[in-house]
Amino acid sequence: MIGRLSAVGLLLALTLAPQFATADNAGLRLLFVGNAAPFSSAGAGDAPEGYAVWLCERIAAVLRPGMPPSWQEASIAGGLVHLARNEADLLCGPVSDTVAREQHVEFSSPIAIGGIGAVLRPDAPPWLLRLLRIGEVAAAPPRTLLARLDWPRRIAVLRGGTAANWLESVLARVQVDVTTVLVADYDEAARRLVDGDVGAWVGEWAVVSQRVRSDSRLADMRLVPRPIVGEPLAIAVRSDPSLRRSVQAALSTLLRGPELDVMAARWFGQAGRAQVALIQSVTPPADSPP
């Protein structure tokens, strides 16, 4: 009996040893949001790139020196689920920090001040521009007028994102005959907009505006010139206070260092440089290395 128990114990030890090694002696498990340039996207050879990816790579190098991180593409909603299930360590991309999300995962200090933006088909009616806060909407257009418009009364928005909650609340408040179309990713939103399946796309302003500049199919679309609603964007961290402290210490050094100005200009242009002072003002100092 003792021999059998010893064999069982040895088998358990051999089974558990690789899992322990993966948790403590390997690189961080990083997720990046796909097709979300300038924050995160698949670059040459499908290697992730972008402003948030750069930050996460540098954090991983500090926390696990000499241990390259593993990368996996995910949606924002799916990535948050992976973190909550302890299936990944960090989610890197245009991820909004909200009170509801903080019940399941943790967040770093802001890495950028983002916001909800919109791009519309050129035949979008003027009242929709007012609805999206370019101006004031005096009253909802009558349904008979909507029925005569040659314009898709549908707006694409990312499933599980904060823009979806905001858009649905706006549409409910003004009670217009316009519906939301929940899409899986930004590529689907752009495709539906080009095809005329939707009349507008609402999402993270920096992502939307960069896509309009880089995608020739969107050249004739009408871009809202500035964010409609501001939001803090951060790195999402699995629920582990120790890991979060280490991530924040490494991040604070990066955000308060001289490289931020260069990287902000690289990924966001002059608009990024304008954010540098604001980001640094809300970044806590790193009192000691992680």
Q: For the domain bounded by 115-229, which CATH number is listed?
A: 3.40.190.10
Q: Does residue 154 have a pLDDT over 50? A: yes
Domain residue limits, the chain: 27-113+232-281, 115-229
- Per-residue pLDDT at 131: 77
Q: Does residue 290 have a pLDDT over 60? A: no
Q: Does residue 273 have a pLDDT over 60? A: yes
Q: Does residue 188 have a pLDDT over 60? A: yes
Q: Does residue 175 have a pLDDT over 90? A: no
- Per-residue pLDDT at 149: 53
- Backbone φ and ψ for 51, nearest 5 degrees, come out as -60, -50
CB count in 10 Å sphere of residue 194: 15
Q: What is the pLDDT of residues 198-249, one digit of tens each?
A: 999 999 999 999 999 999 999 999 999 888 889 999 999 999 999 999 999 9
186 strand-pairing partners:
none
- Per-residue pLDDT at 11: 34
Question: 81 and 74 in contact (C-beta within 8 Å)?
Answer: no
261-268, long-range: CB within 8 Å, 24+ apart, which pairs? 263/51, 263/54, 264/51, 266/51, 267/38, 267/39, 267/50, 267/51, 267/54, 268/38, 268/51, 268/206
CB count in 10 Å sphere of residue 243: 17
Residue-averaged pLDDT of the chain: 85
DSSP letter (8 states) at residue 197: S
Across the range 40-57, mean pLDDT stands at 94
pLDDT band at 170 (very low <50, low <70, confident <90, very high): confident
- Count of positions (residues) in the chain: 290
Q: Does residue 60 have a pLDDT over 50? A: yes
- Per-residue pLDDT at 24: 55
Task: Find, among 199, 205, 160, the residue nearest to 176 by Cα.
Answer: 199
Q: What is the pLDDT of residues 1-12, one digit of tens each?
A: 434 333 333 333
- Backbone φ and ψ for 16, nearest 5 degrees, come out as -80, -25
- Per-residue pLDDT at 8: 35
Q: Distance between CA atoms of 150 and 141, rounded to whole angstroms?
A: 14
Task: Find, among 104, 62, 59, the residue nearest to 79 by Cα.
Answer: 104
Question: 35 and 185 in contact (C-beta within 8 Å)?
Answer: yes
**pTM (global) more than 0.85:** no
72 strand-pairing partners:
31
Q: Which CATH architecture has domain 27-113+232-281?
A: 3-Layer(aba) Sandwich (3.40)
Give the CA-trace dihedral at 287, 91, 266, 111, to 10 degrees: -40
> What does the buried/exposed string (b/e) look like for 101-112 if buried means 16 or more CB atoms within 10 Å of the residue's CB?
beeebbbbbbbb
CB count in 10 Å sphere of residue 76: 24
- Per-residue pLDDT at 261: 93
Task: Give the relative orientation of helices 241-255 and 51-63 as an angle to the nearest 10 degrees.
Answer: 120
Answer yes or no: same fold for 27-113+232-281 and 115-229. yes
